[in-house]
Structure 1
Amino acid sequence: MEARSPLIPSFYVPLIFFFQADESRGLTTSNHVQISEQLKQSLSNTLTSFYPLAGRIHGENIIVDSCDSGVEFIEARAHVQLMNVIQEPDMEDLKQYMPLDPTTGEARRLLVVQITFFACGGVALGLCFSHKITDFTSIMAFANAWAATCRGETEFSGVSFNLESYFPARDFPGSDFWGFLLSDENYMTKRFVFDKEKLAALKQVATTSSLKDPTRVEVVSAFIWKHFMEVAKSKNQEENKTFAALHAVNLRARKLPPELLQNVFGNCLMSGLAFSDASATCDQDKGVQEFQDLVRKLRSSFKRISDDYVTEAQTGDRYLNDLYKLFSPILKGELEYCSFSSWCRFPVYEVDYGWGNPIWLCTTALPLKNLTVLANSRCGEGIEAWVNMNKDNLEMLETEIKLISTNSLKDLDF
């Protein structure tokens, strides 16, 4: 099998499922060997239906699948309590529950797995998927299929690997641009929590007569984008730059009829593009208007990726042209950008390998500059934002997020 994917950089998507010890479900310190063997066998069985994940990447843009290559499976033990790890998570500490550091090197192996057994009997299942062939929808399809196989269930609806028949490969002159976006030592990833009260406050600010019912993802993304711009403008006050936000959009629900792409495996996504040339202001009312405007622009960028837009992308170069118009000014230093990916609509807390639902799911250090991953909090009412930016951006975000509350909106730096 060969597949070209020049529009997707070769980096890993890291995630970790944490499962609490449960004697009634057989997750105890006494049966770790049995659990490990069960995971390996069920992984092997599941890979027969997701055979590309056992392959390797060769060359610049070509994925050559070899079923004999297999998936690396690492087993580790941590002499700590699981709850101590997740109550006050530390980014450097979380890395040890991953099979590799996702911020270093190219993702030549398409899937790497690590199971870590805690002293209390709980486990952490760390997965690194190559983004070269998988989006988060595909990742969750695999995780759920593997979990079902591990539970002893044999029913599986299957997936389709014919994405290229819907979106034929095209040459793209900016395909080497992704190397420019890779993170470096000046960037770090930090986790921020927007709880129920903070989300309600942001929605209250964003709501206008022309913008009804802003979503959690819209207001959090706009909030992070706005403060990203504020830091950039404070450093370059004499420059009049354009700012862009890229938000990953799943095409499976955009293309009609919806069932056409429903079970397609691969990177079935596009980036919604929103732009702003807002000038710096200290006026609070104008700041509120700017925030509302950013929410509107994000919503419009989502809506723009319609069935008609996707169809034009299939038969022509509309999407490629849009990306090239973005890449060129970034390389020239005329445009500052940040990108977002939302996992909030995925049932990540329902993945059950037979030990019950995970007590927490997280990502770790992110490999792209100015990338934010949004995921549901454990209670389901909040959002965890994993933000990879430079220190100045992270410090401003931390300060402003602490100020958000329903009763003190006037304190926000709008």
Structure 2
Amino acid sequence: MNIEVELISEEIIKPSSSTPDDLRHYQLSFLDQLSPPVYNPLVLFYEFNDETMPSVTEISNHLKKSLAEVLTLFYPLAGRIADNKFVDCNDEGIPYVEAHVKCELSEVLNNPVPGEFSKFMPFELDNIANKLPLGVQLNIFECGGFAVGHCISHKLADGLSHFMFSKTWAATALGDQAKIEPPEFISAKLFPPRDFTAYDAGLGITRNKVAKRFVFSASMIEALRAKYQNSEGLENQKRPSRVDALSAFIWSRYVANTKDTGPAEKLYMVLHSVNLRPRFDPSLPHHSFGNLYRAAMTAPFLSSGEECYGLVMRQVREEIDKIDNHYMKGLQQGAEHLSELNESVDSVISGELITFSFSSFCRFPLYDNDFGWGKPTWVSSPPLTFKNLVVFMDTKEADGIESYISLEEEVMVKFETDIEFLAYASPSGC
């Protein structure tokens, strides 16, 4: 479906309290500097309830008041990004947009088209010149339901930092002091900034892709876990996780649908985003703010037949397990890591290397955002700005998984007609 959204108003929301002078210069970390200049988006959908729902004006005023309050905790989000080095925490504020969606909320919930959800955002997600750290848009449906769309610059925050901001904003609106967790801004101390004038953090950003949502039910996920449990390479290994199994399956179908196209000799690289917080010794708190993630890179050994994917899964696990406290100490030095990144970038540009990335938001607090009118009916996201990318999110019941897959159009066409893929995945939205 084609969603029509009409702008109603736009204003700037500033922190309710001024940022102290000694906090006006927020230094980006080494890992922030390496992060792409795009936005991580999130859309929270809320159904209208005649008994508890206030007017649109009251909803909007409540969101704006609590947003101003939470910006005092997350003060860098109300500043301006400067030269991939720091944030000027000048309290200039963030854009808050109200918009009218010309359809019923049920129409979106019954036939979700993630490609249309960028209309629920206050600005373009791939505008690399945008210096705003955060934007919010309140989208009001004709039925009275609404969606809160917000996006945070990836230069400041990874996925978990975004979700913790959203959760803390909701707790602030609800007045639930126990769930208000002030962020810890320690990333620049752990990973001091460096000079990256020669590194292109925007590599891979493209509009030459199509994003679709596929849902894997609990029973299909369990079938895949069982399938890979006894495959070659996983003997005497722990049972594959849900994300392990889905990653191996989706990647196997990607290889099957691309191996006969393009260069005859192709090197496939699988990248899995890894949360660094629990891999420190001692672990960092989950509300540590910044880009505290890295990609575990695996060039899997390829052989014919499904039996090889247990081996692939084992190789991926081994690479992820290498991200330990010893790895952290090397990463904090920075130089060797940057050298490896530059080598990978050169290989991607030359066409020698095909990368396929996975990022999982499963078990993250997606459905904890109660602003005072109940938890969201659904949490979703517009497509991210990269191709060959899969993002996993729990279904609301947390037993199934939604997979947002971004591919080049010709590859997506093959996926949508891949009988083996569709035997496990249910397409949703086009």
Output the TM-score relative to the length of structure 2.
Answer: 0.86
State the Cα distance separating 1:316 from its structure 2 match: 5.0
State the Cα distance separating 1:182 from its structure 2 match: 0.6
1:403 counterpart residue number: 423
Cα deviation, 1:108-164, whole Å, max 9, x if unaligned, reads 211010011222221100011100000111111111111011112345342211211
The amino acid that maps onto 1:384 is: E
Among 252, 258, 265, the alignment partner of 1:226 is 252
Aligned-residue Cα RMSD (Å) equals 2.0
1:252 counterpart residue number: 277
Among 11, 23, 44, the alignment partner of 2:68 is 44
Distance 2:227 2:100 in 1: 47
Residues 289 and 344 of structure 1, relative CA distance in 2, 3 Å threshold: same
Cα deviation, 1:235-280, whole Å, max 9, x if unaligned, reads 03x622211111111111110111x45432100111111112525x
State the Cα distance separating 1:94 from its structure 2 match: 2.3
State the Cα distance separating 1:55 from its structure 2 match: 1.5
State the Cα distance separating 1:105 from its structure 2 match: 4.4
Cα deviation, 1:26-52, whole Å, max 9, x if unaligned, reads 325xx1101101100100010000001
Distance 2:341 2:256 in 1: 24
Corresponding position: 1:70 with 2:70: no
Distance 1:180 1:135 in 2: 17
Among 337, 341, 361, the alignment partner of 2:359 is 341
2:160 counterpart residue number: 137
Distance 2:414 2:93 in 1: 44
Would you say the 8 A contact 1:244–1:274 is kept in 2? yes
Residues 172 and 287 of structure 1, relative CA distance in 2, 3 Å threshold: farther
Would you say the 8 A contact 1:133–1:267 is kept in 2? yes
State the Cα distance separating 1:190 from its structure 2 match: 0.8
Among 73, 77, 95, the alignment partner of 2:118 is 95
The amino acid that maps onto 1:346 is: F
1:409 counterpart residue number: none
The amino acid that maps onto 1:139 is: H
The amino acid that maps onto 1:183 is: T
Residues 79 and 333 of structure 1, relative CA distance in 2, 3 Å threshold: closer
Corresponding position: 1:207 with 2:213: no
Residues 239 and 158 of structure 1, relative CA distance in 2, 3 Å threshold: same
2:302 counterpart residue number: 278
Distance 1:343 1:157 in 2: 19
Residues 272 and 250 of structure 1, relative CA distance in 2, 3 Å threshold: same
Would you say the 8 A contact 1:12–1:107 is kept in 2? no
Query: Which structure 2 residue ranges, 5 or more long, are not aligned?
Result: 1-24, 426-430
The amino acid that maps onto 1:130 is: S
Residues 50 and 343 of structure 1, relative CA distance in 2, 3 Å threshold: same
Distance 1:92 1:296 in 2: 34
Among 55, 58, 62, the alignment partner of 2:79 is 55
Equivalent positions of 1:360-379 (< 5 A) are 360-379=378-397
Distance 1:292 1:173 in 2: 40
Residues 316 and 13 of structure 1, relative CA distance in 2, 3 Å threshold: closer
Corresponding position: 1:166 with 2:190: yes
Distance 2:146 2:423 in 1: 36
Among 26, 35, 46, the alignment partner of 1:19 is 46
Distance 1:287 1:168 in 2: 46
Instruction: Choose 119-128 or 224-233, whichever is displaced more.
Output: 224-233
Among 223, 241, 265, the alignment partner of 2:266 is 241
The amino acid that maps onto 1:96 is: K
State the Cα distance separating 1:69 from its structure 2 match: 1.5
Query: Which structure 1 residue ranges, 5 or more long, are not aligned?
Result: 280-285, 406-414
Among 112, 119, 144, the alignment partner of 1:121 is 144
Would you say the 8 A contact 1:205–1:292 is kept in 2? no
1:411 counterpart residue number: none
Would you say the 8 A contact 2:216–2:401 is kept in 1? yes
Instruction: Choose 91-100 or 136-145, whichever is displaced more.
Output: 91-100
Q: Secondary structure at the match of 1:114?
A: strand
Would you say the 8 A contact 1:103–1:365 is kept in 2? no
Would you say the 8 A contact 2:391–2:404 is kept in 1? yes
Q: Secondary structure at the match of 1:221?
A: helix
State the Cα distance separating 1:328 from its structure 2 match: 2.5
1:146 counterpart residue number: 169
Residues 312 and 93 of structure 1, relative CA distance in 2, 3 Å threshold: closer
Would you say the 8 A contact 2:174–2:372 is kept in 1? yes
2:320 counterpart residue number: 302
Would you say the 8 A contact 1:222–1:298 is kept in 2? no
The amino acid that maps onto 2:137 is: Q
Instruction: Report the number of matched residues.
Output: 391
Distance 2:193 2:250 in 1: 33
Distance 1:154 1:378 in 2: 25
Cα deviation, 1:335-354, whole Å, max 9, x if unaligned, reads 10011111002021121111
